[in-house]
Amino acid sequence: MAFTDNDVRERIRAHVIDPEIGLNIVDLGLIYGIDVDEDAVDIDMTLTSPGCPAGPQIIYDVKQTVKRSFPEVNQIAVNIVWQPFWSPEMMSEWAKEELGIF
């Protein structure tokens, strides 16, 4: 395997932006876990709310980013989970500063 879960996380950080908030979903705290296994990537993530209108676009962007960045991957699963429920405390310090949350 030529890449790690951290490599996937960094590609998502660089390329997947929440269109409503304008920040990447990694720093927003939406990525809960990434599992890389041979030619498969399994991603557990959440959305800022169950009714997030940008949810389908974000999921699509995650899958496309992984597909483009790691063409050797044959299976990409994005699992939306609600436990724990997302809150602003999950954001990185950088994201909190960008949004003026202290």
How crowded is residue 80: how many other Cβ atoms within 10 Å of its Cβ?
16
State pLDDT tens for residues 30-73: 999 999 998 999 999 999 999 999 999 999 999 999 999 999 99
Structural domain containing residue 16: 5-99
* The residue type at 92: S
Closest Cα partner for 69 from 93, 36, 28?
36
**Contact in structure between 25 and 62 (CB atoms under 8 Å):** yes
- How much is the pLDDT for 18? 96
Give CA–CA dist 35/4, Å, rounded: 8
Rounded distance between C-alpha atoms, residue 32 and residue 84, angstroms: 9
The total of structural domains in the chain comes to 1
CATH number at 63 reads 3.30.300.130
Burial of 19 (0-12, 13-18, 19+ CB in 10 A): exposed
Give the pLDDT score at 102: 72
